[in-house]
Amino acid sequence: MNAADVLPAQFNVASYFVDRNVDEGRGAATAVICGGRVLTYADVQELANRSGNALLELGVQMEDRVVLLCLDTPEFLAAFWGAIKIGAVPVPVNTLLRTADYRYLLNDSRAKVAVVSAPLLGEADGAVTQAPALRHVLVTGGAAGRHLSFEDRLARASSTLDPAPTSRDDAAFWLYSSGSTGFPKGAIHLHHDMVVCLETYAKQVLGLRQDDRVYSAAKLFFAYGLGNAGYFPPGVGAQSVLSPDRPTPEHVFETIARHRPTIFFGVPTLYAAMLAAADPRRRDELASVRLCVSAGEALPDDIYTRWRERFGVEIIDGIGTTEILHIFLSNRPGKVKPGSSGLPVPGYEAIIVDDQGTPVPRGEIGNLRVKGDSTMAGYWNKHEKTKETLWGPWIQTGDKYWQDEDGHFWYAGRADDMLKVGGIWVSPVEVESTLIRHPAVLEAAVVGAEDDERLVKPKAYVVLKTASAASTQLADELKTFVKDKIAPYKYPRWIEFVPDLPKTATGKIQRFKLRS
C-alpha cells in the first residue's frame, strides 16, 4: 500500500482519527473507557482541541517536539492528538525509565514542552531542570507543584481548533527505540504512517470493526500499544479500554471481566503469567474475547497451545518494530502455525538476505528486510544508524529469519546482542556497565537465557575482583544493585560467577560463546 495513492497531499492525521468520527456522526458513540470514565468521540475531540490550544498558548509551534511521559489515560490521547493537530510532534516515551534516561530523551528531542503523569514526576523532575530546550512541564492527574497543571490549562483553553495544514509526509510523532550500543534513537514517523497500519494489519488481519472493544495490556508509549489502543480503535469508530495500572495477570483478568473487550493484546511473558495465575475453577474469563494478539518477542508454541486449550481463543503472533510502526508479519486467525511469525501482512513485502544483501535460498537463515509504507523516515540526528537501517524502500530489522516451504516466516534470533524481555528492549551493554560499578565486580557479560516458559531473560556472567567472595547473597545484592540504578526490568534474573570471560584477541567479549 502506498499512502500517496490514497491520501491527499495536505493531510492532518489527528483530523483523520479524531474529527472524522464526529464528522461522520459518531460524536455520541463511546470512544474510550478508563476505569469509571467513559468518553465519547465528541469528548475526545474536545479534549484534543483544548490540549492543542493549550500547547499553542505555551508557544509550541509546528514541528516542535512535545514529550509525553504519560500513563495510559485519556489525557495521553488528548495530548497526542492535540499536538499532532497543531502540527507539533508528540514523542511518547517509556514510563518505566530512570531520571538519566529522561534527561537524554528530553535533550535529544529538544522538546519545548513535556506532559507528565503526576505519579511519574518523581523520576522525571531531576531531568527537567537539565533540559535547556524545555520551557514548560504540564502535569496531569495530580498536584503540579512548581509546574503547570494540564487540567487547568485545558479548562482555560478553547474547545475549537482547526487542524494545522500539514502534509501527509510531515513528521507526526516520534518513538524511541533502544540500540545495542549507545543511546536510544528517535524514529521519525509521518502523518500517513498510522493510516497504513490501520488499513493493512488492523483491517485486513484483525478484521477490526466498529463493534469491537479493544484492550491492550501493552501500553500506549510502545509502538505496539499505540496502534492497539491509540489509533486502531478510532480508525474504525470502535472502543478502547485504557488502564494506567501495571498489567499484572490479576489486574488484566479484572479489567477483562469488568469491560469485556472483544480483542486483547499482550506479550508472551504476560500470556505465560496469566496461564499460571488463572483460577482453575473458572473457564469463562475470556468469554467476551474473539481474538488475542501477541507481539514484542516470539510466542513459544507451547504457550499458544495451552492458551487455546484453557480459554478457547487463539493467540495470533505477529512481529512489528518501532521503525515499521506496527505488525508486518503475522499469523492469521484460524490458520495459525504455532511458533512461527506467519506471513507478510497485505501491503508489506518481506525478504531474507545474506550479509551482502542477496536473497538466501528458501529454508536458510538470513537477515529480514521489509518493505512497507509505514516505515519511519529515518532516525533523528542519527545519520549513520539511519544509513545502516534503511535500504531504499526496504528496512533491515536486525532479526534473523528463515522461511518454510509454505512461505511462513520463523524467527531465528537477533543479528545484534539486544534482548527482548517481556516485549521490551534490554541492552546487555547497559546492564554490564551497571554491574561493573559495583565494587566487588571486575568484569561482566550479559546474554539472554531461556526461563521455564522458553522466554528470554537477562543472565549475567560475573568475574569478581576476589573470586572467593562469590555467594548467593552477593548474587542477590548485584541484582538489587542493578534494579536500583537502571530501569528495574533490565536486572539479570540469574548471576553466574566465573573465573574469566571468553574474549577475542582484541579484548571484545564473545557473547555468542556464553549463549551456547
Query: To the nearest whole angstrom, how small is the minimum distance from the Cβ of residue 122 to ligand 3UK?
Result: 25
* Cβ proximity to ligand 3UK, 64 vs 373, nearer residue: 373
Q: How far apart are CA 180 and CA 462, in angstroms?
A: 19
Contact 453, 300 (CB under 8 A): yes
Tell me the site size for ligand 3UK, rule CB under 6 A: 23
In the list 98, 332, 414, 438, the residue contacting ligand 3UK (rule: CB under 6 A) is: 414
Q: Binding of ligand 3UK at residue 64 (CB under 6 A)?
A: no
**Three-state DSSP class for residue 410:** strand
Q: How far apart are CA 18 and CA 150, in angstroms?
A: 20
Burial (Cβ within 10 Å: 0-12, 13-18, ≥19) of residue 194: buried
Q: Binding of ligand 3UK at residue 327 (CB under 6 A)?
A: yes
Q: Tell me, what amino acid is at 233?
A: P
Q: Binding of ligand 3UK at residue 328 (CB under 6 A)?
A: no
Instruction: Tell me, rounded to whole angstroms, the distance of Cα 483 from its chain centroid.
Output: 21
Query: To the nearest whole angstrom, how small is the minimum distance from the Cβ of residue 470 to ligand 3UK?
Result: 33
* Cβ proximity to ligand 3UK, 7 vs 327, nearer residue: 327
Q: Which stretch binds ligand 3UK (CB under 6 A): 18-26, 283-291, 391-399, 500-508?
A: 391-399
Q: Which stretch binds ligand 3UK (CB under 6 A): 66-74, 94-102, 153-161, 318-326?
A: 318-326
* Cβ proximity to ligand 3UK, 206 vs 462, nearer residue: 206
Which grid coordinates are listed for 19?
Answer: 474529527
Residue 174 host element (H or E): strand 171-177
State how far the alpha carbon of 36 is from the alpha carbons of 230, 255, 259, 360, in Å.
Answer: 19, 11, 10, 53
Q: How far apart are CA 56 and CA 248, in angstroms?
A: 38
Pairing of strands 171-177, 136-140: unpaired
* Cβ proximity to ligand 3UK, 330 vs 434, nearer residue: 330
Contact 242, 73 (CB under 8 A): yes
Query: Which residue has the CB atom at the shortest distance from ligand 3UK?
Result: 320
In the list 207, 333, 398, 502, the residue contacting ligand 3UK (rule: CB under 6 A) is: 398
Instruction: Show the binding pattern over residues 148-177: x = contacts ligand 3UK (CB under 6 A), - = does not.
Output: -----------------------------x
Could you tell me where the DSSP H helices lie in 207-267? 223-225, 232-236, 249-259
Q: Which stretch binds ligand 3UK (CB under 6 A): 26-34, 234-242, 319-327, 402-410?
A: 319-327
Which grid coordinates are listed for 169?
Answer: 509526509
* Cβ proximity to ligand 3UK, 32 vs 327, nearer residue: 327
Q: Binding of ligand 3UK at residue 399 (CB under 6 A)?
A: yes
* Cβ proximity to ligand 3UK, 261 vs 423, nearer residue: 423
Q: How far apart are CA 505 and CA 490, in angstroms?
A: 29
Closest CA to 133 of 205, 215, 38, 65: 65
Count of other CB atoms within 10 angstroms of residue 452: 7
Q: Tell me, what amino acid is at 287?
A: A
Query: To the nearest whole angstrom, how small is the minimum distance from the Cβ of residue 406 to ligand 3UK?
Result: 18
Instruction: Show the binding pattern over residues 338-367: x = contacts ligand 3UK (CB under 6 A), - = does not.
Output: ---x--------------------------
Query: To the nearest whole angstrom, how small is the minimum distance from the Cβ of residue 295 to ligand 3UK?
Result: 4
Query: To the nearest whole angstrom, how small is the minimum distance from the Cβ of residue 224 to ligand 3UK?
Result: 4
Q: State the Cα angle at 251 between 248 and 256, rounded to 5°.
A: 125
Q: Taking CB under 6 A as the criterion, which residues in 272-311 touch ligand 3UK?
A: 295-298
User: How does DSSP classify residue 315?
Assistant: E
Positions in the binding site for ligand 3UK (CB under 6 A) = 177, 223-224, 295-298, 317-322, 326-327, 341, 397-399, 411, 414, 420, 425
